[in-house]
Structure 1
């Protein structure tokens, strides 16, 4: 290989590594928090992180290599946030795993039956985004409440995030995670806590799924809707803005199969990348659009490598002082919360149904064992139907 060829390849390869680093470190805490909230043990949550990293890495490689586009996959960060706002369902962790499999089946059905995708698109964006904003609100409050609960641990994290948000916005959350890691290491060193080496080894922990009405209605359906509306559809739009037409059916098949394979090991869902997709698909990754697919492959390989350290990241969360990791997770969701609120109230004619949806989702109230996210959709659609009912 000539020096020119090596130089031309190094740029998209580097872009892919950056895409994976930013995507992983910006939201892995949200994933672990979400899995913990629906009943996973620390070992099961670490297994889920490992399974998601490997399956989305393979999905990146397969799609980018096959279609010669910088197509990147990601775990569903909004979906993980939804799990984090959900209390343990009837049936516990096995029921949550069953819900993950249902989500995978729905994604596969979306590839095979386009009508399902059309039904998701028929949900008013204001209501879907209001539901997401309501789910994110309690999580986004964590940095604020954390400053009061543990100022010595949380304040350095927040200050680091703010400085990088001003100087290098792309790296703000990863930098906050580095600051949190330093806080954890100092805490472990000062207390003399012994770390079991077995905790640092990546391991799959498989769970036999069970299926309950509460988990399917309260977890699977809202998780599927959020994944489609907040990840897959925007992901297609981001790629189109850079001149790429992502093949819908193959993309849904690959991410659906990946979600199905990761579910028994604790993975909630993978999908097309949305925000981080621009890092691999933009001209900054590679001036020649026909060569940017290398960045997609590089992203996938980097995700797989990062997955090998999933147990280490999970151990950091386990050893962290109170409020530190929730603060990082909340900071990671600020941008998503702001965008969701803006889209929810942007249309004055849809504002009232969106407000109702937001409030019900933010309340966290669960009825009949079904999470608030589902009832938020029901309430928003009901209010919208009444307000838009034509008068005779």
Structure 2
């Protein structure tokens, strides 16, 4: 075969391969975080499995629909930072049904963000350093898990950490998926014959939502803020960097409705992809920009297939020795933590407020039934206002 024919074959297959990588990296690098977050706010193993299944199905279908309609490589994902917020929040008044009700409200807010310019402006008015500091504070305790787990269970956790470290020298993109693969292998060996055939079949579990003030403030508000600030807004910026214009109103409408539909089955949020967006929109998806949208069709289709693996993965996570899942989740979030820390502390004028925001979020305190993520934003905004007033007074 001539070099020209080989180049044509590569160009034709490039968007397909990019779509496969997008789905595999997106799924394997964070599904443990999703399961951990859902369990933390009260989901049973079956309800957490249902959440993972419905997220795969909805974002797969929505991604295919948006890509076919607009012929651009638009990528969707679940909110990994949002799942981290859930993991740090813990149970709230009203339990799992109240958490599901909060997910519904997040979907409504996302739809309204696309329809009402003022709401989008309000979200944009939240200082970026504070939003990133809140996320960093939420992630910090989770990212400490590999350290504590390695000390407590070195036999189980050391192979996971070493795989992550070695893969950073080989292929940074695959470091987290590889470490998760090793973690699952360790769990499978340890679980032995405890897994039953029925455990591996995916299923959906319907929960009737309820609404409590504590859940709305502790879950819905922080989940909405981090999803917008860490997923939707960066997702648009990444696509713009590759000269693609995201249909903002329609994307918010589709992902918001998908979030509302998925909430009763345990799905916490569907949104624009951020990190994996570059895989399908960039040069790795082929030289022909007009064919890169096929990467989203491929990724969306593969997510529908991956939904079938949710039962097995949930069963493995439920059977894990202490520390293994927590260590894998912490390693998966380490890159996000580093990015959030860098952005939150980059501006010297915002550092005091950002530091306070980070510390309050990391504290895990609950006041009046409301979790730390909300109070972190409040504290950061108060400190920011005082510091800016002090600077203004000094200047005068």
Work out whether 1:39 is the aligned partner of 2:42: yes
How far is the alpha carbon of 1:149 from its aligned partner?
Answer: 1.4
Secondary structure, aligned partner of 1:271: strand
Is the Cα contact below 8 Å between 1:135 and 1:373 reproduced in 2?
Answer: yes
1:73 aligns with 2:76: yes
After the TM superposition, which of the residue ranges 22-31 and 380-389 deviates more from structure 2?
380-389
Aligned residue in 2 for 1:185:
188
Contact 2:11 2:288 in 1 (8 A): no
Residue 39 of structure 2 is aligned to residue 13 of structure 1: no
Q: Number of residue pairs matched? A: 388
Secondary structure at the aligned position of 1:333 is classed as: helix
- 1:313 corresponds in structure 2 to 313
CA shift digits 1:50-91 (9 cap, x unpaired): 010111111110111111000000000000000000120000
Question: What displacement does 1:196 show?
Answer: 1.9
Q: In the alignment, is residue 228 of structure 1 matched against residue 205 of structure 2?
A: no
SS in 2 for 1:152: helix
Partner Cα separation in structure 2 for residue 323 and residue 122 of structure 1: 39
The structural deviation recorded for 1:194 is 2.5
Distance 1:231 1:68 in 2: 21
User: In the aligned structure 2, how far is the partner of 1:376 from the partner of 1:221?
Assistant: 12
Distance 1:201 1:105 in 2: 31
Distance 1:224 1:198 in 2: 35
**Matches of 1:301 and 1:272, distance apart in 2:** 16
Q: Note the C-alpha offset of 1:5.
A: 7.8
Contact 1:59 1:72 in 2 (8 A): no
- TM-score normalised by structure 1 residue count: 0.97
Unaligned runs of 5+ residues in structure 1 are none
Partner of 1:376: 376
Q: 2:118 aligns with which of 103, 111, 115?
A: 115
Aligned-pair CA distance for 1:322: 1.0
Cα deviations across residues 234-280 of structure 1 (Å, max 9, x unaligned)? Answer: 00000001110111001101100110111000000010000010111
Output the CA distance in 2 between the equivalents of 1:138 and 1:204.
Answer: 31
1:143 aligns with 2:154: no
Q: Give the alignment of 1:379-390 within 5 angstroms.
A: 379-389=379-389, 390=392
| CA–CA separation in structure 2 for the residues paired with 1:4 and 1:155 | 42
Contact preservation (8 Å) 2:67, 2:293: yes
Residue 142 of structure 1 deviates from its aligned partner by 0.6
User: Aligned equivalents of 2:78 and 2:355: distance in 1?
Assistant: 28
Contact in 2 for aligned 1:19/1:299 (Cα 8 Å): yes
Matches within 5 A, 1:258-269: 258-269=258-269
What is the SS of the residue equivalent to 2:29? helix
| Structure 1 runs, 4 residues or longer, greater than 3 Å off | 2-9
In structure 2, what is the equivalent of residue 351 of structure 1? 351
Give distance in 2, aligned partners of 1:199 and 1:365: 36
Asked whether the 8 Å contact 1:9–1:294 carries over to 2, the reply is: no
Matched, 1:158 2:180: no
Q: Provide the C-alpha distance between the structure 2 equivalents of 1:183 and 1:197, rounded to a whole number of angstroms.
A: 19
Q: 1:60 aligns with which of 63, 78, 85?
A: 63
